[in-house]
Structure 1
Amino acid sequence: MLIKADRQDHILTLTLNDPARRNAMGNAMREELVAAMTDAAQDPQVRVVLLRGAQGSFCAGGDLTAMPPEDPATAARRLRDVGDMIRLLAGFPVPTIAVVEGAAAGMGAGLALACDYVLMAADARLLFPFTRLGLIPDGGLLATLAQRAGTSRARRILLEADVLDADACLAAGLADAVHPAADLPAAALAQAEILAGQAPLAVAALKAVLASGTPTLEAALEAEAEHQPKLFFTADFAEGKAAFRERRSPGFTGH
């Protein structure tokens, strides 16, 4: 089993589980991850997904032992499959949190930056080795890195094949928080519990709008006009309004 799934209440943890290879992303692991995410997207009990790697390493990137593929056509199919995985993660209907320990290299960095939140251990790092290998960045990094760090900084990071420690990632906007390694699991769970308490339908709508990046003003206004009239008439809005008036925490049901 290359992906371990563990759900506690509304929080699902998906663990990349090939520690002997530092959780490198091969075809089999990718297929298992896509299957697990597809199941989770259809499970109304799941409100947050934590993505992490087994035994203190997030993901060593793509499986170099399987590169190059047999021929260009096979390579093209593989990249389309990778693209589908990143689209699924970036457009996921509930919040996703990358819990980065050790190294997130290449494709591993792509997985992390496709998540909504990136929490890093103080000794963790992101690696972008593509130009040193003679490859273009993949895993959506040409978009997600620029969205987080800005185009000029992303260009420099990718051209220079940078290795960024946790503090540098935090300064560049690639990490949302950095914690001592021993404290990271508890910090990730605490963040997940906060997100799990938000209104599921509103979260899903918000994520759908932002899945392709920052919308234009016109696109944002159109999205508001599409989603907000429906949300006004949900049980969750009634509950949120009542909780606000009664000065208590809401209990959302996703209806």
Structure 2
Amino acid sequence: MNAFNLKHADERIQVTRDGEIAIVTIANPQRRNALGRQMRLTLRDTLHHLLVADPDSRVIVLTGADGQFSAGADISEMVQRTVLQSREILDESCQVVRDMLGGPKPVICAVEGIAFGAGLSLAVATDYIVASSSARFCAAFLRIGLIPDTGILWTLPKKIGMSKARELLSLAREIDGVEAARIGLVNQLVEPGQALAAAIAYAKELAKQPPLGMALLKAALTFGADDMDAALRAEIDFQPLLRQSKDHLEAANAFIEKRAPVFTGQ
């Protein structure tokens, strides 16, 4: 179980470590890692802690247990609710997306098996997706009479373009890992069973980057790249701050001294 105290602790959200890499596993294999409300709350709290408050983690890897990523929301919990109750639950899921997109650390997704519904939404909200060729992706929301949620109305068009996103969201088409890589949904395609190892390897490369620079790069890409003026403003706002950082000075000295830099996030 998590080494830190969580208000909404659910043991089906598990955290392990590989050096500076925090591996978050959705572990509800009896339901193909479907996410009930208690699990979503624990996932929200866990990711927020790792992204914002944990000094030992530089990169987060999100994956699923037993050869599946996630079937999405647990349909068995979709009982009749008031509009206000549903809004509260959706806000909890949206906070996970806000933290992954706007948080200061990279989040890598390792997908084996299925990433359906909100499971696909979570994957698309990460910075980089590694998937096996046999993985399957589906924005299955319309199959149960709902519009896509958990941020995917914004994240999917940003990742693969509006035309293809409209097709996948409207038709609830299922595609495999090969097709997902072809259209740019998946960044790295691997053999079945290798997604987590490849994601960790990529995470270790990212962990070598300067943390402050990475944090501001993520902020620029998430909040400052919707149009030219916003992108240029992000450069003007962020670059002078980074030029004052100890990591920038360390990188310059390391270049002159022909050695690898050691970044501290300062």
TM over 0.5: yes
SS of equivalent to 1:52: strand
2:45 to 26, 35, 42: 35
- Distance of 1:213 and 1:63 partners within structure 2: 34
Question: Displacement of 1:213 after TM fit?
Answer: 7.0
- How far apart are the structure 2 equivalents of 1:189 and 1:85? 21
What's the CA shift string for 1:182-219, capped at 9, x where partnerless?
33232112101110000000000111122247332211
> Would the aligned equivalents of 2:114 and 2:135 in 1 still touch at CA under 8 Å?
yes
Q: How far apart in 1 are the matches of 2:188 and 2:37? A: 31
Q: CA deviation at 1:66?
A: 1.2
What TM-score, normalized to structure 1? 0.96
In 1, distance between residues paired with 2:176 and 2:117?
14
5+ residue gaps, structure 2, are: 1-10
| Residue equivalent to 2:147 | 136
Q: Is the 8 A contact 1:209 1:215 kept in 2?
A: no
Aligned residue in 2 for 1:114: 125
Q: What stretches of structure 1 of length at least 5 have no aligned partner? A: none
1:253 positional shift: 0.7
Q: How many residues align?
A: 255
Match of 2:90 in 1: 79
> Equivalent residue for 2:8?
none
Q: Is the partner of 1:181 in helix, strand or coil?
A: coil
Pick aligned residue for 1:148 from 153, 159, 162 = 159
Name the SS of the counterpart of 1:59 in structure 2.
coil
1:179 correspondence with 2:190:
yes
Match of 1:100?
Answer: 111
Q: Deviations over 1:203-237 (max 9, x none)?
A: 00111122247332211221122111121121100
| Identity percentage of aligned residues | 39
Contact 2:44 2:92 in 1 (8 A): no
Contact 1:68–1:75 (CA under 8 A) maintained in structure 2: no
Paired position in structure 1 for 2:207: 196
1:206 aligns with 2:217: yes
Q: Secondary structure at the match of 2:194?
A: helix
Aligned to 2:27: 17
Offset at 1:55? Answer: 0.9
AA aligned to 1:47 is: R
In structure 1, distance between residues paired with 2:215 and 2:159: 21
Q: Does 1:123 find its partner at 2:134?
A: yes
- Over the aligned positions, Cα root-mean-square deviation in angstroms equals 1.3
1:114-136: CA deviations, max 9, x gaps?
00000001111111112221110
